Amino acid sequence: MPQLPLKRAGGLAYREAEPAQASERMPALCIHGWPQSSYMWRHLLPALASAGRRALAPDLAGFGDSPPDSPGTYERHVEAVERFRRQIGLDRVVLVVHDTGGLIGLRWACDQPDAVAGLVITNTGFFPDIEWIEIAKTMRTPIQGEALMDSLSREGFATLMNEASSEFDDRALDEYWKAFTTAEGRRGMLELYRSFDLDELKPYQERLAALGVPALILWGQGDEYIPVDYASRFAHEIPGSKLVSLEDIRHFLFEDEPERCAQEVIDFLQRAGI
């Protein structure tokens, strides 16, 4: 598979795939979660381009090839998405999100409703009653979080990731390990998790529906981290959305079944006419 070259804009590294011919289809903006990077979209971006759509994915600050931007707070990441969009010159986009990229991207979408033409929501949460998984609880806890970050080795990281998916090869693990290679990067991850104030999400609960755009909820049913009922909650809260549940697919669905996931996204966007 050809590697997409890294580009830079708005202080962030990013990957981009462009269609062979000019297209009026809305570009896709893909936001990764923890602990991944734009590399997680390596199959989706060229697939969208082959279907006639420009597709871009930034490395959030401190992840992949983007330098940390202290403090690495929730609000700062949301602001960075908007800065990136403006510097690239994107008008309206189809927003594609996964994991903590959902918390960041969906808040950005609610704050910038005129910039959103469609949503693809995958294995994430955007609810004020989110249940943090154990590793997130540890990262949110002073002293314990620092101990975890300081003790995690490349081998330990590989073990952690391979427990969640059998599809991570050495290249993927190397890409995702980049976030842990500096003390500033590790501190930024703690700053992100500790800055999540779920009460801040309460005013946003009706704003996803108010966007009034086509929405696909694409969900790996075998997710051990995020409750499967979050998928139905998103579908209930966004009228007219389409829910596609993938049996036997786990949290990292774009690693486990990249071609199937890409085709679901492409088919949905084509049917939605955006």
Q: Strand 6-9 to strand 12-17: parallel, antiparallel, or no bridges (unpaired)?
A: antiparallel
Which are the contacts of 125, defined by CB distance < 8 A and separation ≥ 6?
Answer: 102, 103, 226, 230
Q: How confident is the model at residue 57 (pLDDT cuts 50, 70, 90)?
A: very high
Task: Reply yes or no on whether the pLDDT at 238 is more than 70.
Answer: yes
Q: CA 210, CA 262: separation in Å to the nearest integer?
A: 26
What are the two backbone dihedrals, phi and then psi, of residue 128, each rounded to the nearest 5 degrees?
-70, -10
23 or 26, which is more confident: 26
Q: Are 243 and 232 in contact (CB under 8 A)?
A: yes
Q: CA 7, CA 225: separation in Å to the nearest integer?
A: 32
- Residues 69-88 have pLDDT tens digits of 999 999 999 999 999 999 99
Task: Reply yes or no on whether the pLDDT at 4 is more than 80.
Answer: yes
- Residues 169-209 have pLDDT tens digits of 999 999 999 999 999 999 999 999 999 999 999 999 889 99
What are the two backbone dihedrals, phi and then psi, of residue 136, each rounded to the nearest 5 degrees?
-70, -40
Distances (CA, A) of 173 to 157, 159, 161, 162: 8, 10, 8, 9
Q: What percent of the chain lies above the pLDDT cut of 70?
A: 99
The mean pLDDT of 156-179, rounded to a whole number, is 96
Residue (of 173, 99, 159) closest to 130 by Cα position? 99
- Residues 97-151 have pLDDT tens digits of 999 999 999 999 999 999 999 999 999 999 999 989 999 999 999 999 999 999 9
Task: Reply yes or no on whether the pLDDT at 2 is more than 70.
Answer: no
Domains annotated for the chain, with CATH where assigned, are 6-272 (3.40.50.1820)
Q: CA 218, CA 136: separation in Å to the nearest integer?
A: 23
Residue 22 is predicted with a pLDDT of: 85
- Tokens at residue 187, please? 């501190």
| Mean per-residue pLDDT of the chain | 96
